Amino acid sequence: MKIAVNTRFLLRKRLGSTGNFTHEILRRLTVRYPEHAFLFFFDRAYEQQYIYAANVTPVVVSPAVRHPVLLFWWYQVSLPRALKEWQPDVFLSFDGLVPLAVAVPGVTIMPDIFSNETNYLSRKYYQHYRPQSARAAAKIIAVSVSARQNLIKQCHLVHLVPEKIVVVPPAAGEEFSPINFEKQVTVRGKYTQGEAYFLGVGLRKGSQELVNLFGAFDKFKLKTGSEVKLLIVGRQTWLTGFTSKAYKKMQFKANVIFTGLVENAARAGLYGAAVATVYLPAAREFGLPVLEAQRCGCPVIAACTGAMPEVAGVMPVDPVAEKEITQALIDVYHELAVRARLVQEGLGNANRFSWEGSSEKIMRALEEVIQNKVTSGALL
């Protein structure tokens, strides 16, 4: 079997959630299935570390995508040409898109049919091409039961067959594990001058959840008088518009620290040394940072919306209720029994998910698509 893959998200030090999913799945599939040939379609010069095995052939397909117009050209002009030249049996993509009007069947991981991208042009592009990709794809992969249900609700809007949507959840990698006390002290010394901290993750640029967390943290500080800090994984430049105003109004903004972008190895240390991880996105399809924190033995406070009800072992909160978030911060900070319970339940929950299991599910989906193609061809 010859499998073509969109690997343009494999960017060193800039993987992001889509790139990380791509990396974890492909490094397992290529090694586990040496009998299959993999064509990795990059949009720029690639890093050798992402050529995981001898059965991988890297192909650079121009142009490098840095703008929605270039994304259109890459997907609808350059990529179809490459597929025609290399003649794969199936195409796998991780960004909710497939090239249109090509003979090669496509499988794509799709978070949502109707994109909520913050950039105007990107949003317009995805809102136009994701519904078409959903119809064109032979299989759609949702990352949670909740995401699948949301996609099914949208099926009638784009004439999509629900049966072709399968669930393949992500997992936390092996690098996420508990750290000893000495390493915890080192991490706190590096980021918070030795003080304890809550870790805010999964927070999007210009998002309401940032405002809610700022307000809840201020109230926590007022009620407890503690020296605890709030460490945000992300850049302070994410503060724009109303989020910037909310930050400037904070009484304890001096206790809020932004880490910048952090790679997996460093993020594991941040989880391991935190009092608790706070994950508040209200509409995310799957909370991978929750599993990462749980594997590191860190208690988790998480929004009770989206896919979070599928993830056990967290303290659920209404992501728009500041008082509720504040009380959760207080409970986790003061109550040792609460922290111990969340740690134990979290470790058990994280073990239910594995990249090995997820990669196998994707391979089964690819094989089914190819088998259906062969069967359909035999009937013609």
- pLDDT given for residue 186 in this prediction: 96
Average pLDDT in the chain: 87
pLDDT for 282 beyond 90: no
- Which residues are CB-contacts of 253 (< 8 A; sequence separation ≥ 6)? 214, 247
- pLDDT given for residue 173 in this prediction: 86
- Which residues are CB-contacts of 5 (< 8 A; sequence separation ≥ 6)? 22, 26, 38, 39, 40, 41, 91, 92, 93
Neighbour-count burial for 10-40, b at 16+ CB within 10 Å, e otherwise: bbeeebebbbbbbbbbbbbbbeebeebbbbb
Q: How many CB atoms lie within 10 A of CB 248?
A: 10
Confidence of residue 379 (pLDDT cuts 50, 70, 90): very low
pLDDT for 380 beyond 50: no
Question: Are both 2-171+355-379 and 181-350 of the same fold?
Answer: yes
158 closest CA partner among 195, 200, 119, 112? 112
pLDDT for 195 beyond 90: yes
- pLDDT given for residue 306 in this prediction: 65
pLDDT for 374 beyond 70: no
The residue among 211 and 81 whose pLDDT is bigger is 81
Q: What percent of the chain is modeled with pLDDT above 70?
A: 89
Q: pLDDT, tens digit, for every residue of 313-337?
A: 788 888 888 999 999 999 999 999 9
The mean pLDDT value for 133-151 works out to 87
pLDDT for 171 beyond 80: yes
CA gap 299, 281 in Å, rounded: 17
The pair of structure tokens assigned to 77 is 């002009």
Q: pLDDT, tens digit, for every residue of 147-156?
A: 888 888 776 6
Residue 298 has φ and ψ, to the nearest 5°, of -105, 130
The mean pLDDT value for 5-10 works out to 95
pLDDT for 2 beyond 60: yes
Q: Give CATH superfamily name and number for 2-171+355-379.
A: Glycogen Phosphorylase B; (3.40.50.2000)
Confidence of residue 112 (pLDDT cuts 50, 70, 90): low
pLDDT for 377 beyond 50: no
The mean pLDDT value for 338-366 works out to 93
The residue among 132 and 118 whose pLDDT is bigger is 132
Could you write out the three-class secondary structure of the chain? CEEEEECCCCCCCCCHHHHHHHHHHHHHHHHHCCCCEEEEEECCCCCHHHCCCCCEEEEECCCCCCCHHHHHHHHHHHHHHHHHHHCCCEEEECCCCCCCCCCCCEEEECCCCCCCCCCHHHHHHHHHHHHHHHHHCCEEEECCHHHHHHHHHHHHHHCCCHHHEEECCCCCCCCCCCCCHHHHHHHHHHHHCCCCEEEEECCCCCCHHHHHHHHHHHHHHHHHCCCCEEEECECHHHCCCHHHHHHHHCCCHHHEEECECCCHHHHHHHHHHCCEEEECCCCCCCCHHHHHHHHCCCCEEEECCCCHHHCCCCEEECCCCHHHHHHHHHHHHHCHHHHHHHHHHHHHHHCCCCHHHHHHHHHHHHHHHHHHHHHHHHHC
Q: Where are the chain's structural domains?
A: 2-171+355-379, 181-350
Is the pTM of the predicted complex or chain greater than 0.85?
A: no
Q: Are 275 and 197 in contact (CB under 8 A)?
A: yes
pLDDT for 25 beyond 90: yes
Confidence of residue 205 (pLDDT cuts 50, 70, 90): low
Minimum mean pLDDT range among 111-120, 123-132, 193-202, 223-232? 111-120
- Which residues are CB-contacts of 11 (< 8 A; sequence separation ≥ 6)? 19, 47
pLDDT for 202 beyond 70: yes
Q: pLDDT, tens digit, for every residue of 339-352?
A: 999 999 999 989 88
The pair of structure tokens assigned to 162 is 């629900």
Counting every residue written for the chain, the total comes to: 380
Q: Give CATH superfamily name and number for 181-350.
A: Glycogen Phosphorylase B; (3.40.50.2000)
Distance between terminal CA atoms of the chain?
Answer: 22
Query: β-strands 300-303, 315-317: how paired?
Result: parallel
The mean pLDDT value for 177-200 works out to 95
The mean pLDDT value for 236-252 works out to 80
